[in-house]
Amino acid sequence: MKRVNFILVIILMITAGCSENRQSNDSLITIEVTKSYPKKELILQDIFDVEYIALETNEEFVTSSFILNIGKSIIAVRNSGVITEGDIFFFDRTGKGLRKINRRGQGPGEYIAVQILVLDEDNNEMFVFDMSVNSFILVYDLYGNFKRHLENPRELEPFSIANFDHDHLIIHDSGYLNIVNGNIEGIRNQFFILSKKDGSITKEIVIPFEMKKWAVIGADQMNSQRIYNQWIMPMPYSNWIIAEASSDTIYTILPDYSIVPFIARIPSIQSMNPEVFLLPGVISDRYYFMQTVKKEYDFATGTGWPRADLVYDRQMNAIFEPIVYNDDFSNKRPVKLVFDSRPVNFPITNEIAFYIKYEAFELVETYRKGELKGRLKEIAAELDEESNAVIMIAKHKK
């Protein structure tokens, strides 16, 4: 009898230990941002269907491959580094080069630097944001013919832009001053729904918070550091996730522009010094990837912003520290599903969760070491160091 009781105690202790990271079944998902969670290894291919696209390389299509956007049938790319060259390369979804356009200039309908490009294949249009021009967003057809420009009366400074629906864009604004008719009227919200037709603001998304918290360290632009992460992420076949650094809640925004609480964090960001921010990452049907970032930076060493990856497992109703591996690398190469992965700015009904770019020279070296498998190995065997990049696309499982 004593032996039975001893075993029962051990089972209860183990169960209690495993339940420490579990969520209440009747509450909002709550993340304790200062807590350490148990590690959990995951395989990328178990969560998403993975596809590789080798961008065609020839005399006309040679690019350092900064991915601007991936659409239903088109991939838009510009060169990395110097963004004022003006070339935009278009590939199809198999990687075949389609065309190259360049509308660089300072005249009407021209851009100086392509910073953001949104493909809208349903309307045969693309939206190009160039911070250096007064016209805000330039609208072209998919062959580079200028159609119109969208005005910017509120002087928005977009960090990211995406298709919200057939007629609207959603913008994450990196500015903070609400300017109306040239006058500063306080601190503005970060998220706006804009008309694709003329740029007018259809809806300003208001996220409640007590006091503005800045994801920036430093007093001036020359000596400052900010978190360059997405604060807006797509959900699979559904809505958008939006996060405001000053809020204790991450929200989803619905087609009617209303917002619904999605994830809560404790302790309150308002009570922390230094702050620990909670950033949304890639969302799948089962897993919600996130990341905490502590507001610390050492300008002398150039290091800071310590990060910790988190994932909420819907099936287990629990939170873990994830380590996600791409199974096409035999040396267990990890994949970051918040900072390194990139969401795709096309209609949210599309199937792609995110993409990652692999440089050809890196894949060639890895192939020579015998560290690749499957389709990625086959692609790498055909590359050389000067080839264009290979794009890994992670698609939601159906």
Report the CATH number at residue 150.
Answer: 2.120.10
What range does the domain containing 312 cover? 28-396
Q: Is residue 211 part of a domain?
A: yes
Which whole number is the average pLDDT over 147-168? 87
- Find the mean pLDDT for residues 373-396: 95
Q: Global pTM? A: 0.86
CA 280, CA 291: separation in Å to the nearest integer?
7
The verdict on whether omega for the bond into residue 274 sits within 30 degrees of 0, i.e. cis, is yes
Confidence of residue 179 (pLDDT cuts 50, 70, 90): low
Residue 144, in any domain of the structure: yes
Q: Report CA dihedral (52, 58, 63, 67) to the nearest 10 degrees.
A: -30
Predicted confidence (pLDDT) at residue 17 exceeds the cutoff of 70 = no
| Residues 306, 276: Cα–Cα separation, whole Å | 9
Q: Calculate what percentage of the chain has a pLDDT beyond 90.
A: 57
Distance between start and end Cα atoms, the chain:
51
Q: Whose CA is closest to 277, among 228, 315, 206, 239?
A: 228
Cα→Cα distances 20→42, 316, 324, Å:
20, 12, 22
Over residues 264-280, the mean pLDDT reads 95
Helix/strand/coil for 6? helix
Q: How far apart are CA 296 and CA 205, in angstroms?
A: 29
Stated as kind and residue range, the H or E segment containing 194 is strand 191-195
Mean predicted lDDT score pLDDT of the chain: 85
Answer yes or no: is 267 within a domain: yes
Closest CA to 234 of 67, 126, 349: 349
The answer to whether residue 138 sits within a structural domain is: yes
Per-residue b or e along 30-65, where b marks 16 or more CB atoms closer than 10 Å to that residue's CB: ebebeeebeebebebeebbebebbbbbbeeebebeb
Does residue 19 belong to any structural domain of this protein?
A: no
Domain assignment of residue 2, yes or no: no
Q: How far is CA 61 from CA 54, 96, 150, 349, in A?
A: 12, 9, 30, 30
If one counts the domains in the chain, the total is: 1
pLDDT score at 216:
82
16 within domain boundaries: no
The average pLDDT across 34-44 equals: 97
pLDDT > 70 fraction of the chain, expressed in percent and rounded: 83
Reading phi first (left if > 0) and then psi (alpha if -120 to 50, else beta), residue 343 is in beta
Range with top average pLDDT, 12-16, 151-155, 186-190, 216-220: 151-155
Q: Are 287 and 310 in contact (CB under 8 A)?
A: no
Does residue 7 fall inside a structural domain? no
Taking only Cα atoms into account, the Rg of the chain, rounded to an integer number of angstroms, comes to 23
Average pLDDT over residues 346-367: 85
